[in-house]
Amino acid sequence: MKQPDFDLGQGWWYPAILGSVLFLIVLFMPKVRINWKEIYITFGIIGYIVWMIDTTIAVPFDIFDINHPKKTGLSEIILYGVIPSCLSIIYLNFYKREKKWTLVTFFVIISFILEWLTSKVGVMKGAWQIWWSIPIFLVAYAFFLPWHLKFIRKKWN
C-alpha cells in the first residue's frame, strides 16, 4: 500500500503554532465589529482567494515554494487556508474608518514580520522577495477587506 504523499517539511511547527494561536484569537476575541456570519464568510473567501492566487500565479511561475515544491503539506495548508483568513478577521474586528491608516500600518507590519519569519525558519523558499508583499498587504488591508465587509453587510444583512 502506498503511503500518503504529505509533507511536514522544515519548520512545519511555525505555521502550525501561528495558525493555532490566530485561530484561538478569532474564536475567543470579543466580537467588536464583526459577527459570526461575517467571520464564516470571510474565513472561506480569504482562504479561497489565497489558494487561487497560489494555484494560478505562484505555482505556474514558480515564484516560491512552501517546503517541498511538488507536495502539499501541513505548512502550505495552514499558510494559505488559515493564517490569512484569521488575520483578515482580526483586522475587520477592529476596523474603524477613523483609525483606518493606523490599523492598516499595524497589520501590514505584522503581516510582513510573520512572512519574514516564515522564510527565516525555512518554510518559504524561492525567488520571492518578502518586501514585494508590502503592496499586496497594503491593498488587502486598506481597500479589499473594508470593501469585502461592506459587500457582505449589504448583500446578506
pLDDT of 57-73, one tens digit each?
Answer: 666 555 555 555 555 66
pLDDT > 90 fraction of the chain, expressed in percent and rounded? 55
CA atoms within 13 A on the CB side of 99: 9
Q: Which residues contact 117 (CB under 8 A, 6 or more apart)?
A: 14
Supply the pTM of this predicted model: 0.87
Cα–Cα distance measured from residue 43 to residue 89, given in angstroms and rounded to the nearest whole number: 7
Cα–Cα distance measured from residue 121 to residue 138, given in angstroms and rounded to the nearest whole number: 24
Residue with cell 470593501: 147
Kindly report which listed range (11-15, 59-63, 75-79, 120-124) carries the lowest average pLDDT score.
59-63
